[in-house]
Amino acid sequence: MSIHDDRRGTREAGQERIHQGIVPSYLLSRLAESGRYPQAAEAARQTLIGPLPAEHRAQLRLSIDENGTLVAEVDAAPNRTISDAHTTETLPGTVVRREDDPPVADMSVNQAYDGLGATFQMLLDAFQRNSIDGKGSPLDATVHYGSGYDNAFWNGERMVFGDGDGQVFQGFTGATSVIGHELGHGVIQATAGLAYQDQPGALNESCADVFGALTEQHLNNQTVDRATWLIGAGIFTHSVHGKALRSMLHPGTAYDDPELGKDPQPADLSGYVKTTEDNGGVHINSGIPNRAFALFAVALGGYAWETAGSVWYRTLSSGLSSTASFAEFAHATITEADKVDAATGEAARTAWASVGVIPAASVTGAGDARTGTAR
């Protein structure tokens, strides 16, 4: 495989796993050639070429009903385990904090623990989903992976966090959107199973960004107009001219740095990047459906996880093809939006038309977008 391939697999327990990292290979490749950041350049090169590496916990509540009968109810609760790789590339590492353990001295451990909990709570509150598989699966993470490792990734079973190189990237545990994004890959894996290539892969990345943004917004109780819509805010050091890895509302504006270049994400289908790298541009082209979701959520107002997020989540759970194109996914979300009410359906059509995935003519205002006839 090319060193630019984000879809690196390793053999763990006899099975090949796909590693879906938050930092795209095109950005690491640019950083690897940096003269301004020699330490970061070496870390990026090592990140690019290096190897990657109790089902249900719940709370029991007992009560007595009006007939004097004992009633037992089970509340879903997270089951978190954080391990430390001690700057090696050996997983899972040494367990350093389990569920209900108090905070430890290591900030990365505590941030990972809190981020896993925030994602669990968003999934439960917004979608009544008990953990990433819907069945209360444990949430496992490893911190301090590798030496100067410039990424965080989901390997099919756990979250893995590098500490960054210290010049361009700093620790990845501090960004809730990163943790929500990576665990979002687990939800996608358990629902639609979108293939990690070309347009399905870009949808995979985009839906993971949606989960990341929703997790951050839910944690901070932010309405759509107060949200930043940034993915990975805080993982760049102050040396970098940039706010985050990606902007969902304004793709292509997250960073513009003399060494890293300008954020290459297109904001609509006219800028779609055809490439053999990055698994067919999964990180680059995710900006197109990202903007569609953000526009949809902003048009609806309120909290994004309540209606917009629910439409996207139901789409993933609706029998969507694992090889869905942008257009197929768009029409599937419109179908789910129509089930809410006419205004929600119209907002979905407008959002997808705004990014060029469906024809603008299909947004009729007073007409039916599927037939063009009056309602």
Question: CB within 8 A of 368, min separation 6: which ones?
Answer: 374, 375
Look up residue 236 and give its DSSP letter. Answer: B
Cα torsion angle, 104, 105, 108, 114, sign? positive
Strands 20-21 and 152-154: antiparallel
Q: Which residues contact 88 (CB under 8 A, 6 or more apart)?
A: 145, 146
CA distances to 134, 149, 186 from 157, rounded to whole Å, are 14, 19, 8
The token pair at 228 is 């930043």
Each residue of 148-160: b (16+ CB within 10 Å) or e?
bbbbbbbbbbbbb
Angle at 330 between CA 358 and CA 357, to 5 degrees: 30
Active site residue 218: no
Q: Pick the catalytic residue from 19, 144, 283, 331.
A: 283
Contact 298, 215 (CB under 8 A): no
**Residue 49 Rama label (left phi>0; alpha psi -120 to 50; beta):** alpha
Q: Are 344 and 337 spatial neighbours (Cβ–Cβ below 8 Å)? A: yes
Rounded distance between C-alpha atoms, residue 192 and residue 189, angstroms: 7
Structural contact between residues 215 and 177, judged by C-beta atoms closer than 8 angstroms? yes
Residue of 182, 259, 277, 346 with catalytic role? 182
> Residue 26 is encoded by which pair of tokens?
């095109």
Tokens (6 digits) for 178: 């990163």
Indicate if 182 belongs to the active site: yes
Q: Which residue has the tokens 């020699």?
A: 38
Residue with tokens 């609706």: 318
Active-site positions read 182, 283
